């Protein structure tokens, strides 16, 4: 066969080459995309259709998200800038330009956040009798109470530090509340110290309810107001010229060389106490803080003007979340719901016989997480069960899952727990969890060196008449009962012999560190998952305009997958991407991504399920997974994707996890080619039903019917 290029028909024009897919302008910056997600969360705080206390909650979530962003993402960029590193992502922005862009975008978000608080939320809360009383409006009885409270509960825990050669600037902890006090006068030793620092003890509540006998039923004061009112008691004989809040955010990454340590648990335990004192990355101050004090703080923390955030209100809005639990106003919250329980899960003692008949699919939080807990608890109590193998990424030492594993080990069963110690910000919990399990004889493994074990798997080995039979649970979320009530996730309970055999091979691989197993049904990163996703896209490319791809993920930033999706769009494949957070792909670019649509759903529950759909010529392939389409998930973590088989289960997942979300015009935002997002709801006041509402209604009917 000749390798010569086919000749063109007489007079035919050659087809123009397709645009290059490596151009930086085709990719949106990951960190800026993360910040765009927080704009969408903030929009819920400004939405009059959302219950008032839930609006306050969304406002505080933005603060918590931004804290973590600076502790991790911005901190990493500042480190790279410090060492002169070049561009890392396909957008080729580079640390210097990216840090400047982050500062500009974040300042805009925070300004909008405080406008929302001061101009809309606080007046609305006051209209409902929920008030945060400033010092200037305290009645005489309230002032007397504040002095007594300060003297008894606050003053003994405060340590005023005037700054001089004998009293250097104190070690200010990450995200701690601090006060810069401007002083005038001489102390008992004739010294002049123009500035002092007072740190608010972390043990003290930041918001305190005023006794109802001297105030309204829901009147509160800030701890900062109490300290400000009585700060003179800390500096007798001196004049207080100024009192200004400030807060420092620090680099919170833990640096442990896993190749060089003998025991990862001990190494992390040694590193954790240093986390609160990493390099400063952000300074927040009260907006009334004078320039000379601001400059002094910036110099001390070695920060620039772009790292400064002057705030017209409390410096840590996340603390306002305490009000939600203290006021007890269910009328200002989302209506309560009871997660439904499938009929086949109402008898935990029959779970194994049920799974031999058919798998069980659960859609959390609309369906209860209890069947998953019952699965492990029943395994712990069943005398026929010989062993349990479980991954634990995020959990707590007092989790029902941990209780069940402990019970199983005490009863003599072989229990293996893969505890991912390096789950960010859960390291301390996971260390306690691992130690508790080890004390009762559980075989604890700390994951894989340099690869986080992010897969969600539980495997039960049970002796039956025909021999040892295995039962498994696979999920897109963590074994954390509280998260299962606020995160959307999928769970599959199954006795499929090929899937459970794959699970057992994976556990053997994690603990024994042999060659990667050749799996029958499951996909595993870092070995087969990435190639399988690319292969699925390639099959749809070959089908051209008859191709179909839908993906629901939390983040899409891997350049290899994005390039493959661009090529699919160029081939005419219709592609819908439901991406909650960061998305580096730019949709709607002519000749590149005009067949790609990207939407983000932000609502009552945190969207967390990962589902991959490939049309496959009318015989769809549907996968649920623990992995997003990010380099860290595909190459630096151990992840698992599991098939959704059978017409009924597949149709259910496609409808509930994909179709409902593509039809959502209430909580949906569509991504534009410039990386900005547009709400599909014409106005915040427009009535609508979201995918989450439809699922709540569906499973509420199931509950009432049962």
In angstroms, the CA 566 to CA 534 distance is 12
Question: What angle (nearest 5°) sits at the alpha carbon of residue 564, between those of residues 559 and 569?
Answer: 120
In angstroms, the CA 525 to CA 511 distance is 16
In angstroms, the CA 288 to CA 291 distance is 9
DSSP character string of 24-69: GGGB--HHHHHHHHHHHHHHHHT-TTS-HHHHHHHHHHHHHHHHHI
- Rounded to a whole number of angstroms, the CA Rg of the chain reads 28
**DSSP character for 466?**
T
Neighbours of 515 (CB within 10 A): 8
In angstroms, the CA 654 to CA 621 distance is 10
Two structure tokens written together for 325: 């639990």
Known catalytic membership, residue 454: yes
In angstroms, the CA 527 to CA 452 distance is 14
Residue 523: how many CA atoms within 13 Å on its side-chain side? 24
Q: How far is CA 610 from CA 50, 334, 577, in A?
A: 26, 25, 11
* 453 contact partners, CB below 8 Å, separation of at least 6: 391, 393, 418, 420, 447, 510, 637, 638
Q: Could you tell me how far CA 624 lies from the centroid of its own chain?
A: 19
Backbone angles phi, psi at 422, to 5 degrees: -95, 15
DSSP character string of 172-221: PPTT--EEEEEEESB-TTS-B-SEEEEEPPTTS-SEEEPPGGGS-TTEEE
Coil, strand or helix at 418? strand
In angstroms, the CA 219 to CA 180 distance is 27
In angstroms, the CA 95 to CA 652 distance is 44
Catalytic residue among 454, 473, 480, 595: 454
Question: What angle (nearest 5°) sits at the alpha carbon of residue 654, between those of residues 651 and 655?
Answer: 85
Neighbours of 314 (CB within 10 A): 24
In angstroms, the CA 76 to CA 79 distance is 5
Q: Are 221 and 145 in contact (CB under 8 A)?
A: no
C-alpha torsion angle, residues 550, 555, 558, 561 (rounded to 10): 0
Query: DSSP alpha helices (H): ranges in 349-481?
Result: 351-357, 370-381, 400-410, 427-439
In angstroms, the CA 391 to CA 398 distance is 16
- Closest CA relative to residue 275, chosen from 256, 261, 292, 300: 256
Active-site positions read 454
């Amino acid at each position: 066969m000749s390798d010569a290029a086919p000749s063109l028909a007489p007079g035919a024009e050659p087809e123009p080459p397709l645009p290059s897919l490596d151009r930086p302008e085709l990719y949106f910056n990951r960190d800026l995309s993360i910040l765009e997600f927080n704009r969408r969360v903030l929009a819920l705080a400004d939405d009059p259709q959302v219950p008032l206390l839930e609006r306050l909650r969304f406002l505080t979530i933005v603060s918590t998200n931004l804290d973590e962003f600076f502790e991790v993402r911005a901190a990493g960029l500042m480190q790279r800038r410090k060492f002169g590193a070049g561009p890392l992502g396909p957008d080729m922005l580079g640390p210097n330009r990216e840090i400047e862009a982050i500062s500009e975008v974040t300042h805009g978000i925070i300004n909008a956040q405080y406008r929302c608080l001061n101009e809309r939320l606080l007046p609305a809360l006051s209209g409902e009798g929920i008030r945060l009383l400033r010092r200037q409006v305290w009645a005489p009885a309230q002032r007397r109470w504040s002095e007594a409270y300060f003297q008894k509960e606050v003053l003994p825990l405060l340590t005023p530090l005037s700054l001089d050669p004998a009293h250097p600037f104190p070690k200010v902890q990450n995200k701690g509340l601090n006060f810069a006090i401007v002083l005038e006068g001489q102390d008992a030793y004739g010294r002049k110290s123009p500035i002092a620092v007072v740190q608010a003890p972390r043990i003290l509540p930041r918001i305190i309810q005023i006794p109802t006998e001297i105030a309204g039923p829901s009147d509160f004061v800030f701890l900062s107001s109490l300290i400000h009112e009585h700060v003179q008691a800390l500096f007798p004989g001196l004049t207080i010229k100024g009192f200004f809040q400030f807060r420092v955010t620090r680099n919170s990454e833990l640096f442990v060389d896993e190749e060089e340590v003998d025991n990862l648990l001990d190494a992390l335990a040694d590193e954790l106490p240093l986390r609160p004192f990493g390099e400063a990355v952000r300074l927040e101050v009260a907006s009334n803080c004078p320039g000379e004090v601001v400059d002094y703080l910036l110099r001390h923390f070695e920060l620039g003007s772009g790292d400064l955030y002057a705030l017209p209100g409390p410096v840590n809005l996340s603390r306002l979340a305490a009000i939600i639990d203290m006021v007890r106003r269910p009328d200002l919250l989302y209506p309560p719901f009871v997660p439904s329980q499938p009929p086949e899960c109402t008898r935990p003692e029959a779970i194994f016989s049920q799974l031999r008949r058919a798998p069980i699919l659960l859609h959390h939080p609309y369906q209860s997480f209890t069947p998953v807990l019952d699965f492990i608890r029943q395994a712990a109590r069943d005398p026929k069960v010989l062993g349990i193998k479980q991954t634990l990424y995020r959990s707590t030492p007092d989790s029902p899952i941990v209780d069940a594993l402990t019970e199983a080990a005490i009863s003599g069963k072989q229990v293996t727990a893969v505890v991912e110690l390096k789950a960010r910000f859960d390291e301390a919990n996971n260390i306690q969890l691992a130690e508790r399990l080890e004390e009762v004889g559980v075989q604890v493994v700390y994951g894989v060196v340099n690869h986080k074990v992010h897969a969600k798997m539980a495997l039960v080995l049970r002796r039956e008449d025909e021999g040892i039979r295995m039962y498994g649970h696979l999920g897109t979320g963590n074994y954390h009962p509280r998260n299962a009530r606020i995160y959307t996730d999928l769970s599959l309970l199954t006795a499929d012999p090929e899937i459970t055999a794959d699970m057992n091979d994976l556990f053997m691989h994690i603990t024994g560190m042999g060659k990667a197993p050749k799996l029958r049904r499951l996909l595993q990163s870092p070995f087969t998952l990435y190639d399988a996703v690319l292969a699925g896209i390639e099959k749809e490319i070959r089908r051209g305009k008859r191709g179909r791809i839908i993906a629901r993920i939390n983040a899409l930033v891997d350049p290899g997958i994005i390039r493959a999706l661009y090529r699919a769009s160029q081939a005419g494949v219709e592609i819908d991407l439901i991406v909650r957070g960061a998305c580096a792909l730019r949709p709607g670019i002519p000749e590149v991504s005009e067949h790609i649509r990207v939407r983000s759903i932000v609502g009552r529950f945190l969207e967390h399920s990962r589902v991959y759909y490939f049309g496959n010529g009318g015989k769809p392939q549907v996968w649920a997974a623990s992995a997003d389409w990010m380099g860290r998930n595909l190459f630096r973590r151990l992840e698992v994707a599991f098939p959704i088989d059978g017409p009924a289960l597949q149709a259910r997942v496609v409808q509930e996890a994909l179709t409902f979300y593509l039809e959502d015009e209430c909580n949906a935002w569509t991504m534009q080619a410039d990386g900005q997002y547009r709400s599909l709801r014409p106005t915040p006041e427009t009535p609508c039903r979201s995918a989450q509402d439809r699922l709540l209604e569906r499973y509420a009917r199931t509950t009432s019917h049962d």
